[in-house]
């Protein structure tokens, strides 16, 4: 059980004398938004009082990196749903300039400790670095959009049929992410439900946490004046049982952080039981249980996992208005398999070139 909540204040919340709010800028593609993106934005928000996130257009991404998986409208909405984001700037330029920072009254920009290059090999943050208006945060190891696309490209092979190295889930064996209690604490706020809150329970895989999930959670959030949404996440083995194929793509630890980063979620239950039991409902004092319009697969014994909330009259189907599912995202990748493979190879080649250049610089120093 992990309690969650909306973004807290930055340094000003720590008792600093009232002053002009420190405005922070981040930008990027934010394609296939994952907990690595969320962690960057969490760190950036902690450096100031107000976080503006610039999101590049489809055209800009295609020019510099290759085709995006999600449309710009989908990406705008995904970034806005991250609880540390105060405002988004649609159509942000790929190269970050002082003009952009001044346009949004931002003091400085924040980026991870990896190098981002334009199509012609130039550092996209060169100008703001030279002006001293650049800050760096630690990049989250073990995940990237390239990595996730790679996992989905493997969906056409049996990458879950062979158990990987020791300690790796047989369902998400390609994941290199290592969960820590500190990381969970950083993502969760620990807020308990307050008197008058409507405690709403939702459950699922929440695999590749995407705009379909966000649309659903937003609709659920709108059902009450003071909603307190608890998301139950099923273990990898359970997800594989009812989803089949090579699911889940992200393991339980990755999915936990992805859901915790969403502004509509108050608490996460890691490894929630598939059947919504009387014990669970009583323990969390649940007043409403919601499910989307996707198919509900019976439990192992053939029973309805929502039998108990239905018996209590607290079950509600919620139409998110979105038809996007994890299956459809995988289909997008597979459909454009060659383009995405080329995109990944291009990025890997660029990263190797940067590492080689850095190695040569180190040799020259010595």
Give pLDDT, residue 18. Answer: 60
Give me the residues paired with residue 228 across strands.
199
Token representation of residue 264 = 């509509």
d(C-alpha 54, C-alpha 190), whole Å: 29
Q: E strand or H helix at 135, and its extent?
A: strand 134-137
258 closest CA partner among 8, 78, 72: 78
Q: Are 38 and 187 in contact (CB under 8 A)?
A: yes
Could you tell me the pTM of the whole model? Answer: 0.82
> Which is more confidently placed, 119 or 158?
119
Q: Residues 223-259: pLDDT tens digits? A: 999 999 999 999 999 999 999 888 999 999 999 999 9
d(C-alpha 264, C-alpha 220), whole Å: 9
Write the CB contacts of 237 (distance below 8 Å, at least 6 apart in sequence). Answer: 171
> Which is more confidently placed, 139 or 198?
198
Q: Residues 5-44: pLDDT tens digits? A: 444 444 444 444 568 899 999 999 998 899 999 999 999 9
Tokens 């059902």 belong to 223
Give pLDDT, residue 311. Answer: 98
209 closest CA partner among 175, 254, 245: 254
In this structure, what are the phi and psi dihedrals at residue 139, rounded to the nearest 5 degrees?
Answer: -75, 140
Q: Residues 174-213: pLDDT tens digits? A: 666 678 888 899 999 788 999 999 999 999 999 999 999 9
Write the CB contacts of 26 (distance below 8 Å, at least 6 apart in sequence). Answer: 40, 41, 44, 51, 52, 53, 54, 109, 110, 111
Instruction: Please work out, in degrees rounded to the nearest 5, the angle formed at the alpha carbon of residue 35 by the alpha carbons of 204 and 240.
Output: 35
């Amino acid at each position: 059980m992990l309690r969650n909540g909306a973004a807290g204040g930055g340094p000003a919340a720590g008792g600093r004398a009232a002053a002009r709010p420190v405005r922070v800028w981040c930008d990027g593609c934010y394609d296939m938004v994952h907990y690595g993106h969320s962690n960057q934005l969490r760190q950036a928000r902690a450096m100031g009082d107000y976080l503006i996130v610039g999101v590049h257009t489809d055209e800009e991404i295609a020019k510099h990196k290759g085709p995006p998986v999600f449309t710009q409208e989908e990406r705008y909405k995904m970034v806005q749903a991250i609880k540390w984001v105060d405002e988004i700037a649609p159509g942000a330029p790929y190269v970050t300039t002082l003009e952009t920072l001044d346009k949004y009254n931002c003091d400085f920009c924040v980026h991870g400790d990896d190098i981002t290059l334009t199509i012609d090999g130039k550092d996209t943050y060169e100008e703001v670095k030279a002006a001293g208006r650049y800050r760096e945060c630690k990049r989250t190891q073990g995940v990237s959009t390239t990595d996730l696309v790679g996992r989905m490209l493997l969906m056409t092979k049996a990458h879950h049929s062979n158990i990987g190295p020791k300690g790796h889930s047989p369902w998400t064996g390609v994941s290199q992410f290592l969960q820590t209690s500190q990381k969970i604490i950083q993502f969760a706020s620990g807020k308990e439900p307050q008197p008058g809150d409507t405690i709403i329970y939702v459950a699922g895989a929440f695999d590749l946490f995407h705009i379909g999930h966000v649309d659903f959670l937003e609709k659920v959030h709108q059902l009450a004046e003071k909603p307190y949404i608890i998301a139950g996440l099923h273990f990898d083995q359970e997800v594989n049982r009812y989803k089949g194929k090579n699911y889940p793509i992200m393991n339980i630890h990755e999915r936990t952080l992805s859901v915790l980063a969403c502004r509509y979620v108050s608490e996460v239950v890691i490894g929630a039981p598939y059947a919504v039991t009387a014990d669970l409902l009583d323990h969390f004092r649940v007043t409403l249980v919601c499910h989307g319009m996707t198919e509900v697969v019976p439990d192992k014994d053939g029973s309805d996992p929502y039998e108990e909330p239905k018996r209590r009259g607290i079950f509600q189907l919620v139409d998110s208005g979105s038809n996007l599912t994890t299956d459809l995202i995988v289909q997008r990748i597979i459909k454009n398999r060659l383009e995405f493979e080329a995109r990944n190879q291009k990025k890997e080649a660029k990263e190797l070139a940067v590492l080689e250049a850095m190695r040569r610089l180190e040799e020259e120093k010595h």
